[in-house]
Amino acid sequence: MWGKDLLCLADLTTDDVLDLLDLAADLKAERKRGVMEQRLAGKALAMVFQKPSLRTRVSFELAMTDLGGRALYLSPDEVGMGKRESVADVARVLGGYVDAIMARVFAHGDIVALAEWAEVPVINGLSDYNHPCQALADLLTIREKLGGLEGAQLTYLGDGNNVLHSLLFAAALTGMTIRAGTPVGYGADDAVIARAKELAQATGAVIETMEDPEAAVRDADVVYTDTWTSMGKESEAAARAKVFPPYQVNAELLAHASPSVGVMHCLPAHRGQEITDDVADGEHSWLWDQAENRLHAQKAVLVRLLQE
Of 120, 30, 117, the closest CA to residue 68 belongs to 30
Please give the C-alpha separations between residue 192 and each of 68, 182, 210, in angstroms, as whole numbers: 37, 15, 15
Q: Which of 134, 248, 273, 290 is catalytic?
A: 134
Closest among 63, 120, 67, 114 to 97, alpha carbons compared: 120
22 annotated active-site: no
Q: Give the neighbor-by-neighbor strand order of the sheet with 44-49.
A: 70-74, 44-49, 100-104, 122-126
Q: Is 70 a catalytic residue?
A: no
Whether 294 sits among the annotated catalytic residues: the reply is: yes
273 is catalytic: no
What span, in angstroms and rounded, lies between the C-alpha atoms of 24 and 137? 9
Please give the C-alpha separations between residue 199 and each of 102, 135, 219, 269, 283, in angstroms, as whole numbers: 26, 16, 24, 30, 34
Catalytic residue among 266, 284, 296, 298: 266
Catalytic position from the list 226, 265, 290, 296: 226
From the list 143, 195, 284, 294, the catalytic residue is: 294
Beta-bridge mates of residue 154: 178, 222
Peptide bond into 259 cis (omega under 30): no
Options 55, 108, 131, 296, the catalytic residue: 131
153 phi and psi angles, rounded to 5 deg: -105, 115
Q: Is the dihedral of CA 43, 50, 13, 158 positive or negative?
A: positive
Residue 104 is a catalytic residue: yes
Q: How far apart are CA 12 and CA 295, in angstroms?
A: 20
The Cα angle at residue 128 between residues 114 and 160, in degrees rounded to 5? 155
Calpha distance 114→99 (Å, rounded) = 14
Measured between alpha carbons, how far is 83 from 90 in angstroms, rounded to an integer? 11
Looking at the DSSP bridge assignments, the partners of residue 72 are 46
Is 218 a known active-site residue? no
Catalytic site residue from 55, 57, 104, 265: 104
Q: Which residues are catalytic?
A: 104, 131, 134, 226, 266, 294
